[in-house]
Amino acid sequence: MKGIYKFIAIVSAAVILDQVTKGVLLYLVTGGVPLFGPAWSVVPQPWMIARVTDFFNIVFTWNPGTSFSLFRAMGEAAPFIIIIATGAIIGFIGYYAMRRAAANERTALALILGGALGNLIDRIRFGAVVDFLDFHLALLHWPAFNVADVCICLGVGLYILNWFIARRRCAGK
């Protein structure tokens, strides 16, 4: 039972941190945080917020696609398809984490689930995800991302690390 509370705490922390950072950015750009509506009616174009270092900026962009702006060209049906697919993935991860996952996998799955929920909230509210972390080398920019994306990547990395560790233990027996 203790593991469930930890799992819920990690998921909640990821969602809250993601939504608070996006809310602050929306407030800075729009002067208020819109509750719902098409993304482009709120802020129609990317904004440069701050140059932090020679390789990192805080920007404001809408991502109607998935990770790293994939599937942007799917047209008007893209948000609905992505919302349905994300909901199915969230349901599967939640079921797996609660019923089948080993205790050492749950932290990774909680990070993935929290990140997916954070981005799903944006998709439902705006039809797109707020991205704002921009790393670059001269004019070569990595696609902008957000805290939810960081949680998903950390969760996937931790899950793979757990898999390798478990595999080495089995091979050593």
Inter-residue contact 150 to 158 (CB < 8 Å): no
CA distances from 28 to 49, 88, 126 (A): 9, 33, 17
Do the domain assignments include residue 127?
Answer: yes
Enumerate the active-site residues: 131, 149
Mean pLDDT across 100-115: 94
Do the domain assignments include residue 41?
Answer: no
**Which residue has 């174009």 as its token pair?**
45
Mean pLDDT across 58-83: 74
Give the total number of structural domains in the chain.
1
Do the domain assignments include residue 40?
Answer: no
Do the domain assignments include residue 39?
Answer: no
Do the domain assignments include residue 11?
Answer: yes
Task: Kindly tell me if the per-residue pLDDT of 126 is higher than 60.
Answer: yes
Its domain, for residue 81, covers 2-34+47-66+73-172
Do the domain assignments include residue 53?
Answer: yes
Mean pLDDT across 120-125: 92
Q: How confident is the model at residue 7 (pLDDT cuts 50, 70, 90)?
A: very high
Do the domain assignments include residue 42?
Answer: no
Secondary structure (3-state) at 38:
coil
Task: Kindly tell me if the per-residue pLDDT of 17 is higher than 90.
Answer: yes
Q: How confident is the model at residue 44 (pLDDT cuts 50, 70, 90)?
A: low
Task: Kindly tell me if the per-residue pLDDT of 30 is higher than 80.
Answer: no
pLDDT reported for residue 74 = 65
